[in-house]
Amino acid sequence: MTDVLVVAELSNGEARKSTLAAIAFAKVVADGGAFDILVIGEGAAGAASGLAGWGARKLLRAEIEGGYLAENYAATVAEVAKGGGYQVVTAGATYYGKDLFPRVAAKLSAGIASDIIAVEVDGDTRKYRRSMYAGNLLGTITLNTDIHVVTVRQSEFEAGDAPGGESPAEDVEIAVDETAERIEFVSLDAVESERPDLAEAQVVIAGGRGLKSAENFENILEPLVDTLGAALGASRAACDAGYVASDLQIGQTGKVVAPNLYIAVGISGAIQHLAGMKSSKTIVAINKDKEAPIAQVADYFLVADLFEAVPALTAEIKKLG
């Protein structure tokens, strides 16, 4: 039996989808124990109410105003983890988790398993599975510390439906960290878009270097994206070429996605890109090169000139609409 602390990631006063993946992991690793959810940050009270039906033993609220600072959050997470006697502390392997959790692990003198894709529980032993070398190898990690700090890949842990009920909530004390007192949160410049968030979208359409220009992204690909109500993504090559902003990059050094439908347009499928999208439920690729590596993971592969195929596909979908 293991008690697990899930640290929620908030955005605009609501828990992000990555939190649900961490909850799914917590249910597996608890193995007869229980999990609690720590909702920390600005808008914690409201976000906690949205997580009340996910089966947690209790919700812990830590309202911290003034914007996110890892140095500010880490002390509170560590104190809650130590005070509650948790054996595992977890969150999603997002930019948030990758920034915050190494600091939490250091404060707890704990081992950390990052970006795991599976866990095997055998009594008191927990074995964490993670991909390495852009997905070419899978490694198994065991941690020898009393507390395990773990971040989980969102695409590999399905939360399912909320079981219902109402978890009780309580406020926790905010820990003071001298390091945080020397750091000031100035502002957050977030990219605003009417399209779904790339990491949480059910449909993702990604373009690669084959589109050849930013104008072609706008004129060829984006009409299809908007017709399907999808999120827009890109390969690293397209981002490096300046066709789209770097925050749209999908892959090992970008965002990891696992939508119901992933459409890759003009993307050859370098191994680093495949590492970020191969868990998608249905993969469609459009490329004039029938030998493109992405064909190895695609469920449907259309060998065609994207400049003809994509506008034609957009037009046909609009007819159905």
Render pLDDT for 14-48 as a digit per residue (tens, 0 to 9): 899 899 999 999 999 998 889 999 999 999 999 99
Tell me yes or no: is domain 203-320 CATH 3.40.47.40: no
148 or 177, higher pLDDT:
148
Binned at pLDDT 50, 70 and 90, residue 136 comes out as: confident
Q: How confident is the model at residue 269 (pLDDT cuts 50, 70, 90)?
A: very high
The predicted-structure confidence for 78-134, as pLDDT tens digits, reads as follows 999 999 999 999 999 998 999 999 999 999 999 999 999 999 998 888 999 998 876
What confidence tier does 160 reach under pLDDT thresholds 50, 70, 90? confident
The domain limits of the chain are 4-181, 203-320
* Longest CA span, the chain: 61
pLDDT, average across residues 295-302: 96
pLDDT number for residue 133: 78
Strand order in the sheet with 148-152: 111-116, 148-152, 88-92, 4-8, 35-41, 59-63, 169-171
**Amino acid in position 222:** E
End-to-end CA, the chain? 51
Residue 261 has what pLDDT? 97
- Name the band, by pLDDT with cuts 50, 70 and 90, for residue 165: confident
**Average pLDDT for the chain:** 92
Length of the chain: 321
- What's the pLDDT at 252? 83
Give the mean model confidence (pLDDT) for residues 200-212: 95
- What pLDDT shows up at residue 161? 79
Within the chain, strands assigned E span: 4-8, 10-11, 14-15, 35-41, 59-63, 88-92, 111-116, 118-122, 125-132, 137-141, 148-152, 169-171, 203-207, 231-234, 261-265, 282-287, 300-303
- Distance, CA of 173 to CA of 2 (rounded, Å): 24
Q: Write down the pLDDT at residue 301.
A: 97
The 10s digit of each residue's pLDDT in 46-88 is: 999 999 999 999 999 999 988 898 988 999 999 999 999 999 9
pTM for the model: 0.84
pLDDT at 173: 93
pLDDT at 179: 81
User: Tell me, what's the pLDDT at 240?
Assistant: 96
Q: Does domain 4-181 have CATH number 3.40.50.620?
A: yes
Whole-number pLDDT of residue 77: 97
pLDDT tier, 290 (very low <50, low <70, confident <90, very high otherwise):
very high
pLDDT at 11: 86
* Cα gap 4→87, rounded to integer Å: 6
**Of 179 and 149, more confident:** 149
Proportion of the chain above pLDDT 90, given as a percent: 74
Question: How sure is the predictor about 155, in pLDDT bands with cuts at 50, 70 and 90?
Answer: confident
Q: Are 4-181 and 203-320 in the same CATH fold?
A: yes
